[in-house]
């Protein structure tokens, strides 16, 4: 993290995004923290109260292009050293029941927003800077009732793999994290019994992100898959 001065994290109001914000916080780092829920985002900032640089709060709905554009405008022109595409939603149901609205929302937050954020910020990044995408084991494996989630994560995986090659000559790294089930509020809206005691913690995922971004500028730890040692759920 020695060279990270300016770091934008989407979905930092709770869960994995909040854990990453807390893990990466350091006196010299200017965090730009995004979320929609202003109360939850304020709680993340409160947990960072000891930081020298007050986090900049970005409150925007990333399901819409207007939200993406407004966030880009608010983030300003100063280059980022680290962009973390973490915000995401999971709609879990048989594919026959998925509505057009759910499709648009999921693709908006999980695919379109990361793409246009990378498109805007990457050309302004300096060599040694990093883009971190929080994907999922569902970017590699398919599960019944997870069609729209898998589609969005597979799409982001393909996008980021291609973008990575375009950014390579500029020394900008694309680091993909593939967590298995992690104990966050994303599971609250997923029906069925899910054993949270067998899930990883958000801190476990944040630790992997911190490790990836702490590598020397010439080293890219490009793909990290994280699962509970006892196996997938």
Ligand X SMILES: NC(=O)c1ccc[n+]([C@@H]2O[C@H](COP(=O)([O-])OP(=O)(O)OC[C@H]3O[C@@H](n4cnc5c(N)ncnc54)[C@H](OP(=O)(O)O)[C@@H]3O)[C@@H](O)[C@H]2O)c1
DSSP single-letter state for residue 9: E
* Contacting positions for ligand X (CB under 6 A): 11, 13-17, 35-37, 40, 61-63, 86-90, 109, 134, 136, 179, 181-182, 184-186
Give Rg (Cα) of the chain. 17
132 close to 215: Cβ distance less than 8 angstroms: no
Per DSSP, the three-state class of 145 is coil
Which C-beta is closer to ligand X: that of 61 or that of 203?
61
Which C-beta is closer to ligand X: that of 2 or that of 65?
65
Angle 202-213/15-24 helices, nearest 10 degrees? 50
Order of all β-strands in the sheet with 56-59? 56-59, 30-35, 6-9, 82-85, 130-134, 173-179, 223-226
Find the shortest distance in angstroms from Cβ 2 to ligand X: 26
* C-alpha–C-alpha distance, residues 76 and 177, integer Å: 27
Beta-carbon contacts of 155 under 8 Å, excluding residues fewer than 6 positions away, are: 107, 110, 111
Residue the block writes with tokens 């990836």: 212
Which C-beta is closer to ligand X: that of 141 or that of 171?
141
- Kind plus residue range of the DSSP H or E element containing 84: strand 82-85
Beta-bridge partner residues of 7: 31, 82
Which C-beta is closer to ligand X: that of 214 or that of 227?
227
Which C-beta is closer to ligand X: that of 95 or that of 126?
95
Find the shortest distance in angstroms from Cβ 167 to ligand X: 21
Which C-beta is closer to ligand X: that of 80 or that of 132?
132
Beta-bridge partner residues of 32: 8, 56
Angle 113-121/65-75 helices, nearest 10 degrees? 30
Which C-beta is closer to ligand X: that of 39 or that of 96?
39
């Amino acid at each position: 993290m020695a060279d990270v001065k300016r770091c934008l994290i989407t979905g930092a109001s709770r869960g994995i995004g909040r854990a990453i914000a807390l893990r990466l916080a350091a006196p010299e780092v200017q965090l730009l923290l995004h979320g929609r829920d202003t109360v939850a985002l304020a709680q993340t900032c409160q947990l960072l109260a000891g930081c020298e640089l007050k986090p900049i709060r970005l409150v925007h709905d990333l399901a819409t292009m207007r939200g993406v554009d407004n966030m880009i405008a608010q983030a300003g022109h100063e280059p980022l050293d680290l962009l973390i595409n973490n915000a995401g939603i999971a709609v879990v149901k048989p594919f026959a029941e998925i509505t057009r609205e759910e499709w648009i929302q999921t693709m908006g937050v999980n695919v379109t927003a990361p793409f246009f954020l990378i498109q805007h910020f990457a050309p302004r990044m300096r060599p040694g800077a990093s883009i971190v995408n929080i994907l999922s084991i569902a970017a590699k494996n398919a599960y019944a009732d997870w069609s729209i989630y898998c589609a969005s994560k597979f799409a982001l995986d393909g996008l980021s793999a291609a973008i990575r090659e375009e950014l390579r000559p500029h020394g900008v790294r694309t680091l993909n994290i593939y967590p298995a089930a992690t104990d966050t509020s994303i599971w609250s809206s997923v029906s069925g019994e899910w054993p949270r005691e067998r899930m990883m913690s958000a801190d476990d995922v944040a630790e992997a992100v911190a490790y990836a971004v702490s590598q020397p500028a010439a080293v890219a730890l490009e793909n990290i898959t994280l699962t509970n040692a006892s196996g997938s759920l």
